[in-house]
A and B are shown apart, each in its own frame.
Chain A
């Protein structure tokens, strides 16, 4: 990937993410997170009053940075990455990640991108931004 081939407004490939009980179990095991809202539906709905098992905010953050990391491949490095968890998401929902190029600095070799995770209603529940250094 060459920076001269990138334009502001270019879209990054979208990807769908459907968490399952198994994937949420493995994610929370691997990050050593025992919070029951990610694997115990009865507790989650009755005690913490969520409508369902909660998809981890940081897991969405990981999916979000994969949009730009997979787009650039080995052509560059992630320099900065920011995101906000705006709305919760629950087991059973299919989320869509994607993004677009917002700025290019050819001299510095950097590209800025805007990233999103949308729910099935099309609402952006986890917006983010990243800057990559190419070359």
Chain B
């Protein structure tokens, strides 16, 4: 069953986006820790990043005039799909090393899979990405499979 996912879209599976380089700051960790109501001192003090900190830190920084009317930045790393509304789907994370202030990290995302499912309110497409995060020196930090649901 793959009526909604074109052969062209399917050809994206395995493709990688350009690596993203980010610098981790104590202030950004503290802001994240407050917004997510963390309870451990190491997070609130910014000594270590909470498990899902990189989810936000790796989001693209796109000029305002490129944001869509829904507020979402254009995602150039996405095949053309007939369903346009997106929801969070979930994630599978393997942690290899804590993230700390001063870290400089390189993140590479590739398209893992495209799966069509039938939801209660109509068809859904599950788009999953492989994310691999390393330090600049090549030490593995995080491996993750993130899923977004298009409806």
Contacts and interface: CB of A to CB of B under 8 A. Distances in A.
B38 interface: yes
Nearest to B36: A62
A70 B51 CA distance: 12
B87 A31 contact: no
Contacts of A78: 51, 95
A91 interface: no
B42 A74 contact: yes
A126 B90 CA distance: 9
B31 A30 contact: yes
A30, A70, A85: most-surrounded residue (chain B CB, <10 A): A30
Nearest to A60: B88
A84 B92 CA distance: 9
Contacts of A84: 89-90, 147
Contact of B93 (A33, A48, A81): A81
Size bin of chain B's contact surface: 35 or more
Interface string B23-64: 000001001101111111010000000111001100101000
Interface stretch (B66-74, B108-116, B129-137): B66-74
B28, B72, B88, B98: most-surrounded residue (chain A CB, <10 A): B88
Interface in A59-73: 59, 61-63, 65-66, 69-70, 73
A57 B50 CA distance: 16
Interface residues of A, number: 41
A56 interface: yes
B90 A83 contact: yes
A127 B71 CA distance: 28
Interface string A66-99: 1001100110011111111100100000000000
Interface string A24-56: 001101111111110010010001100000001
Contacts of A126: 90
A23 B51 contact: no
29 contacts: A27-B35, A27-B36, A30-B28, A30-B35, A31-B35, A32-B56, A37-B70, A47-B70, A57-B90, A58-B52, A58-B56, A61-B52, A61-B88, A61-B90, A62-B36, A62-B52, A63-B36, A66-B37, A66-B39, A69-B40, A69-B50, A70-B39, A80-B92, A80-B94, A81-B51, A81-B92, A82-B93, A83-B91, A85-B87
Interface of B: 28, 31-32, 34-40, 42, 50-52, 55-56, 59, 61, 67, 70-73, 85, 87-95, 98, 147, 149
Interface of A: 17, 23, 26-27, 29-37, 40, 43, 47-48, 56-59, 61-63, 65-66, 69-70, 73-74, 77-85, 88, 126
